[in-house]
Structures are given as C-alpha cells and as structure tokens.
Chain A
Amino acid sequence: MTAGGVSEQELARLRPRDVAGYLRSRGWSPGSRVRYSRRYELEWSGQRRRVLLPMDRELADYTDRMADLIRALADLEGRPETAVHQDLALTGLDVQYIRTKPVTPSGTIPVQDGVLAVTSARDLLMAAACTTVADERRLVHPRRKPQRAKEFVAGARFGPTSPGSYILSVQVPLPEPGSDGSLFEDRPDLDVAPEPFARKVSRTLFEAVAAARDAAEEADLADDSVSFTEGVGRGISADLCEALAGLGGHDGRDAQAYGHGFSIGFAWSPRWPVPFDSARTDFPRHLAPVLLAGAQDLRRNEPERGVVIVGRPTRLKREADFGPGDVTVVGRLMKENGDLVGQQRQIHVRLEEHQYNRATDAHRDVRDLRIEGDLTLRGTYHELSGVTSFDVL
C-alpha cells in the first residue's frame, strides 16, 4: 500500500525508532504493545487519539501499517501525507533551511548570488565544524582545516530547494543510534546514545549563528565591532561571519553590492534531545556588510601563533611583591633560522612569578629576553599571550 503519493519503498525505509521520536516530539505518549506494534496516544481537541506504530520492519504488512499511521497523522495535523512522510524520513538528519530573499521573483535567485549562497553555506558548515573540533575558541580558523571538519562537510548535502524566496536546505546526516527495540525502548529519557559529532556541529552552528546576529545588531547600533570579539566564546569566528555575509550577497569584493536579507532555520533530528527551540534567526539586509566588517576586525585581532620575540624588558609592573606581573619588551621577531626580522615594537607580556623575577634580573643586568607565544596587535602596541617558552639570553 502507498500513502498519498508515498511509495512502498519509501515507507519500507522508515525506521520505527525514528517515527517513535517524531511521535514523542509531538506529544504522543507510548502505551501498551499490541501484537507487533506499540500504541501511541494523544489528547486532541478533547478526544483521546490513538495510533499504532509497527515496531518490526520484517512484518509482511509493515508498509501498510506505516501508510495507516501516516494517513492518521496527516488527518490529525491537517497536512498532506507527503509532508508528514518527509518529516519522518528526515528524522536521521539535522536540517538547516537557509532562506535568501533576493529581489528577483519568488523561487529564483540571481546566478551569482546563488553560487555565493551555495559556497557560503558550505563555509558556514566548515566554520562550525572547525569551532567544534578546536579545543579553544579562535577568532580565525586555520587555512589548513582539521581532517574531522573536512570529513563532516564532505558528508553533508543539499536537499531539495523549497518553495519561497529561495530556500536552500542543508542536510547533516546523523549516525544510527543503535538497533531498534533497545533495552530502554519504554524509557525514551534513558534511551539516548552519546551525542554524535554531527549533532555537536549543528548545535555549535545554531548557537554561533544566533551570536553573530546579536553581535551584528550591537555593532550596527554602537558602530563598534567589539561585540564580535566578545562573541567568540559563543562560536563566532571570522570564517562564520564571512559565510553569513555571503548568504546576504556580500563577498567583500564589491563594496557596492546591494545584497539581501536572509534567515536560517534549524530542524533537529529527534534521535537526540533538542534542548532548544529551533526558531529562525533573521538577518535583515543591512546586517550583511556589518558581518563582513566584523569578520575583518576578527582577522586583524587574530594572534600570530608560535611567534618568538627577542628584546629588552623596559617596563615591569605587578600589583604585589610576588605573583605574576606585566612586562613591556622592546624587541623584534625571530625567524626559525634565528634571524631577527621587522621593526622594533613594544610588546606587552604577562609573565608567571618565576618568569617575572628573571625578567627583573634581566632588566637590571641589561640582558635580552627570548619569549615564545601568540602575538596580537592591540591598536598601537602588541600583546604576547599563551607563553610557551621563556629564556634570558
């Protein structure tokens, strides 16, 4: 049997566990077993509604019973059976719906904007995957992307575009959580496998997109992009902001680009708990250039990692007679071959107590320091953080 245009093959592919997740997510409660099925119940308009979910895919009438179930749900939800089926079939996926709003007729997008939107959607996934992989939050992700992030993006896919302005759907497949009919089948709260990497990326993306929208609104009002740096802890990165700007039709090459608004909606697979709503995040047209400017600032503020500086301590300051302190070094960068390069610059370094004491001795003895860490430009001076080695020459 088929259900309103859903083929028998498609019905056969539905997994009882996924359908159970769909039912639970819509308020249905599991009840008693009836033969090879589980009864699900729901109070609906003052009436107790019941449906049967076949739990055994080997049943000879599995597709007939799934068709019955879809028909009953479509009837209750007032939706076409194909729409209900699509939701059931997507339960193994987290889906992001990227709705662009170009000025062309609904359902179309200019070719150039379309190409930019598609590549930006990919870059958005990559940014979220890199943030998820990284053990620390970074302003800019490395050019050489982590293998795990590359594999994640390679596994994602575009689904069919939906009716509307021009909607791209990005599907993130989630792994199988296990076989049907687990030990905790009756206790969905216990029947949860560890959260997979793909879901972690979806969650990172959801949080980062919301953070970027907040930061862009704040930056637009205050005319100051510090909100982007402050949002790095929520997953903002230059890469993410550039991808978002691209979805708004701005790639940074054409300062006069008109651009368009866009929104990103999230649909979550019920295979893992979804502790947040999946409301759409809207980006009005005027925020795309703000996102781009934010990305540029993040790039400027990104530290150069593993830099070696050599120079004389000129100023030492600490709050007490012991503990860590701040040192200003006037020095230059040292290349791997030992050559000193670039102009002399003022570099502020925060040192541990024993390093600070040795820096004080070096200052008194007029000796140079050699320090390795991450170098960041802070307006008129540089700052070296994350010190990994310290020597008095």
Chain B
Amino acid sequence: MELNNHQGWYGETFVSAIAAAAGFQVAVPYPDIGKDLILGRDHEDPELDVQIALQVKSRRVGEFTTCGTGFSIALPIDQFKRLRGRRQVPCYLVMVVVPEHPHEYIKVAQQALTLHHSAYWLSLENHLLPVQQGQKSVTVTVPRDNLLTTEVLHEFFDRACEEVPAS
C-alpha cells in the first residue's frame, strides 16, 4: 500500500479501535461526505438517532509542526467549512500521530496489542471563517491536552444528546 494511504487507513482504524472500546458502532459513510467516521449507539438503545462525526487526519512524526500548546494542521478551506458551525451531529477533527514507518504502528504481545501513537481532537464549531477572500486553506491548532480517549468519546456523545436551549 502507498505510504500516505497506509497511514490514513491506519489512522482511521486507530480511532475506530478507541470507539469500539467505548462501545460505539462505527460507520464509514459512503459516498464520502466529508466525514471519515460516524459513531452511534446500539440500535436497541433509545439514543440510536444520536450520532457524532469525526474527520480523521493522520500525520507521521516529523510531518507536522508543533507550537507551544499543540500541533498545527492545515485544512483545505472546503474541509474547514464542513467542520465548523453549529451542528445537530457534532463533528470533531481528530489528528492521529502515527510512527514514521508502518512497521512501528503496532506491537503484538501475549497480553496486549499496542497501537502507536495517539490521537488528539478539536472542535471547530466556534471557529470563524477567514476574513481574507480566496484563501485556499486554514491552519488550526489541535491542543496537546485534547487526548482522544474512550471517556472523551462518551462526553462527546452525552453532549450530542442534550437539548440546546434556543439562543
């Protein structure tokens, strides 16, 4: 598999593993609607109509720049627009930091399957559109503190179930 595709596929699977551990069903939308993964609950659950969406970006070590608080990532303007704003189905940007070489992705042992390295999240809901006309991309910072865990996914989901008071 070509390296970028391999890395992207692994990144999505990495996030799917966290979602599976958190007890979510994971769907890959087809055709591609600008979201990589849709997370939902069991169909017997009263919240089956509640979902969250994730846009996954995989970056290998050394492929991205870090700033003081996190990782900088450039998004094409169209993708940025598809992630921002108030949404019924909250959509999060997830950045997966993967090893430089595919053979370092996982380590298999008797008692553990270790996936490398980690995923971080960012909500673009309140990000403003760039003022400058004709801008092709927008750079955002994914905070280093926003580690994607099973608990975080549960929080996302709880928020997605809450009624939002009319503004």
Contact = CB atoms under 8 A, between A and B. Distances in A.
Contact of B49 (A33, A51, A64, A181): A51
Interface stretch (B20-28, B86-94, B97-105, B146-154): B86-94
Nearest to A54: B88
Contact of A34 (B33, B84, B163, B166): B163
Given A1-B33, A64-B33, A181-B166, A34 B49 contact: yes
A37 B88 contact: yes
Contacts of A37: 88
Interface in B94-118: none
Max chain A C-beta neighbours (<10 A), residue from B50, B84, B89, B162? B89
Contacts of B84: 60
Max chain A C-beta neighbours (<10 A), residue from B84, B162, B164? B164
B49 A50 contact: yes
A32 interface: yes
B49 A35 contact: no
Given A39-B49, A51-B49, A64-B33, A59 B85 contact: yes
Contacts of A65: 88-89
Interface string B130-165: 000000000000000000000000000000111110
A61 B53 CA distance: 11
B50 A60 contact: no
Interface of B: 33, 48-50, 84-89, 91, 160-164, 166
A35 B48 contact: no
A50 B48 contact: yes
B154 to A, nearest CB: 16
- The list of the 8 closest CB pairs from A to B, nearest first, reads A60-B85, A33-B163, A61-B87, A65-B88, A60-B87, A36-B88, A52-B49, A50-B49
A58 B50 CA distance: 19
Contacts of B87: 36, 59-61
B163 A32 contact: yes
Contacts of A1: 33
A34 B163 CA distance: 5
Contacts of B89: 61, 64-65
Contacts of A56: 86, 166
B155 to A, nearest CB: 14
Interface in A20-58: 32-37, 39, 50-52, 54, 56, 58
A61 to B, nearest CB: 4
B147 to A, nearest CB: 25
A112 B87 CA distance: 54
Contact of B161 (A34, A54, A181): A34
Contacts of A61: 85, 87-89, 91
20 contacts: A34-B49, A35-B88, A35-B161, A35-B163, A36-B86, A36-B164, A39-B49, A52-B49, A54-B88, A56-B86, A56-B166, A59-B85, A59-B86, A61-B85, A61-B88, A61-B89, A62-B88, A64-B33, A64-B89, A181-B166
A134 B31 CA distance: 58
A54 B87 CA distance: 10
Contacts of B160: 34-35
A37 B88 CA distance: 7
A241 to B, nearest CB: 52
Nearest to B33: A1
Contacts of A51: 49
A33 B163 CA distance: 5
Given A32-B163, A35-B161, A60 B49 contact: no
Given A51-B49, A64-B33, A58 B163 contact: no
B163 A59 contact: no
B161 to A, nearest CB: 6
A54 B85 CA distance: 15
Interface in A130-176: none
Contacts of A54: 88
